[in-house]
Amino acid sequence: MGANMARRLNDRGWHLAAVFDASPAAARALASELGCPAASTLAEVTSRAEIVITVVSDDAAMREIFGLAGGGPGLLENADGRLFINCATVSPDIHDKVAHAAKAAGALSIEACMASSITQARGGTLFLMVGGPAESVAVAAPVLSDLSSMVVHVGDTGDAAKAKALVNMVMNANTAALAEGLGLGVALGLDPGMLRQIFSKTGANSRVLETDGEDMQNRDHACYFSAAHAAKDSRIALELAARAGLRLPVAEAAWGQFQRMVDCGLGELDKSGVAELTFPGRHPQPD
Amino acid sequence: MGANMARRLNDRGWHLAAVFDASPAAARALASELGCPAASTLAEVTSRAEIVITVVSDDAAMREIFGLAGGGPGLLENADGRLFINCATVSPDIHDKVAHAAKAAGALSIEACMASSITQARGGTLFLMVGGPAESVAVAAPVLSDLSSMVVHVGDTGDAAKAKALVNMVMNANTAALAEGLGLGVALGLDPGMLRQIFSKTGANSRVLETDGEDMQNRDHACYFSAAHAAKDSRIALELAARAGLRLPVAEAAWGQFQRMVDCGLGELDKSGVAELTFPGRHPQPD
Q: Summarize chain B as % helix, strand, coil (round to 5).
A: 55, 10, 30
Query: What ipTM does this complex have?
Result: 0.92
Q: Which residues of chain B from 80 to 109 reach within 8 Å of chain A, CB to CB?
A: none
Residue B234 lies in a domain: yes
Q: Return the closest-CA partner of residue A182 out of B111, B170, B238.
A: B170
Q: Do the domain assignments include residue A286?
A: no
Q: Are residues A166 and A181 in the same domain?
A: yes
Q: Within this chain, do residues A43 and A149 fall inside the same structural domain, yes or no?
A: yes
What residues in A contact B127, CB-CB < 8 Å?
201-202
By the 8 A CB rule, do B66 and B74 touch? yes
A283 lies in a domain? no
The residue out of B107, B135, B155 marking a domain boundary is: B155
Same domain, B135 and B170: no
Q: Give the end-to-end CA distance of chain B in Å, rounded to a whole number.
A: 37
- Return the number of other C-beta atoms located less than 10 Å from residue B134's C-beta: 10
Same-domain check for residues B197 and B130: no
Q: DSSP code of A211? A: H
Residue percentage of chain B with pLDDT more than 70:
99
Q: Are residues B180 and B142 in the same domain?
A: no
**pLDDT tens-digit readout, A55-111:** 998 999 999 999 999 888 999 999 999 999 999 988 999 999 999 999 999 999 999
Find, among A68, A67, A87, the residue nearest to A77 by Cα.
A67
Question: Does any domain span residue A282?
Answer: no
pLDDT band (50, 70, 90) for residue B287: very low
SS3 A149: strand
- pLDDT (tens digit, 9 = 90+) per residue, B206-226? 999 999 999 999 999 999 899
Residues B87 and B186 both lie in one domain: no
pLDDT above 90 covers a percentage of chain A that reads 93
Q: Enter the pTM of the model.
A: 0.91
Task: Write the residue in B150, B203, B256 that is nearest to A167 by C-beta.
Answer: B203
Q: What DSSP designation does B38 have? A: B
Residues in chain A within 8 Å Cβ distance of B189: 155, 159
Give the residue-averaged pLDDT of B131-156: 97
Examine residue B32 and state whether it is found in any structural domain, yes or no: yes
Asked whether residue A253 falls in the same domain as residue A238, the answer is yes
Among A155, A183, A217, which residue terminates a domain?
A155
Residues B198 and B272 in one domain: yes
- Is A160's pLDDT higher than 80? yes
Please indicate, yes or no, whether residues B179 and B240 belong to a single structural domain of this protein.
Answer: yes
Residue B284 forms part of a structural domain: no
Contact A266, A231 (CB under 8 A): no
Evaluate if residue B169 carries a pLDDT over 60: yes
A127 and A65 assigned to the same domain: yes
Sign of CA dihedral B93, B97, B103, B108: negative
Q: pLDDT at position A57, please?
A: 87
> Is B196 in CB contact (< 8 Å) with chain A?
no
Q: In what order do the strands lie in the sheet with A108-114?
A: A51-54, A83-86, A108-114, A126-131, A148-155
**Cβ neighbours of A173 in B, within 8 Å:** 173-174, 177, 180, 250
List all residues of chain B from 206 to 245 with a beta carbon under 8 Å from chain A: 206-208, 211, 237, 240-241, 244-245
CB contact under 8 A, A176 and B116: no
Q: A4 by DSSP, 3-state: which?
A: helix
Tens digit of each residue's pLDDT (9 = 90 or more) over A176-225: 999 999 999 999 999 999 999 999 999 999 999 999 999 999 999 999 89
Beta strand B51-54 with A148-155 is: unpaired
Question: Which CATH number do you get for residue B89?
Answer: 3.40.50.720
- Number of structural domains chain A divides into: 2
Rama region for B54: left / alpha / beta (φ>0; ψ in -120 to 50; rest): beta
| Domain end position, chosen among A130, A155, A180 | A155
Domain that holds residue A262: 162-277
Using the predicted structure, report yes or no on whether residue A226 has a pLDDT greater than 60. Answer: yes
* Domain shared by A140 and A96, yes or no: yes
Same domain, A136 and A201: no
How do residues B8-47 score in pLDDT, each as one tens digit? Answer: 999 999 999 999 999 999 999 999 999 999 999 999 999 9
H or E element, residue A138: helix A134-147
